[in-house]
Each structure stands twice: as C-alpha cells, then as structure tokens.
Amino acid sequence: MQGLTPICPYCGQFSRKVGGDAIYPHRPDLYHKTFYQCAPCDAHVGTHPGTDKPLGRLAIQICESGALHD
C-alpha cells in the first residue's frame, strides 16, 4: 500500500503527486508545497508539511455560491 497515491472520490482514478505550481500557478509562495491532483476531475488535496501524507480527501473547488469553480 505504501507509495500509492490517493484515489479520486469523483472518478475513481489514482491521483498524481504535484508541486504547488501545478495547482496554484498564481501563488509562488505555494510552489514548494506538495499536493495530490486528479487530472480528469481537477480535484486536489494538500499534504502534511514535510510528508507525502494527504491532509484529507481530494476535493473539487466550489465557489461560495455552491457552483463548481472553473
């Protein structure tokens, strides 16, 4: 089990480990952070500092109105 990336709850695909620049290209202060991202769904989750352990589940960004964010 060790080394597997989280599975996306939306599409069932394995996520991939990426840097913060892939998730937040407009936030240079997050480039050094590690995230898991599902490419088909664009769901993502950060990791605990200094580890590859996910902070929770992959999630899709939603606006305050409840609509999916483009």
Q: State how far the alpha carbon of 66 is from the alpha carbons of 23, 58, 62, 63, 69, in Å.
A: 20, 17, 6, 5, 9
% the chain with pLDDT above 70: 84
Burial (Cβ within 10 Å: 0-12, 13-18, ≥19) of residue 5: middle
* Token pair of 52 as six digits: 């590859």
List the Cα angle 66/14/34 in 5-degree steps: 75
Closest CA to 48 of 35, 63, 61, 66: 35
Mean pLDDT of 22-28: 95
Residue-wise pLDDT for 32-66, tens only, equals: 999 999 999 899 999 999 999 999 999 997 766 66
Residue-level pLDDT at 62: 73
Q: Assess contact for 29 and 21: CB atoms under 8 A.
A: no
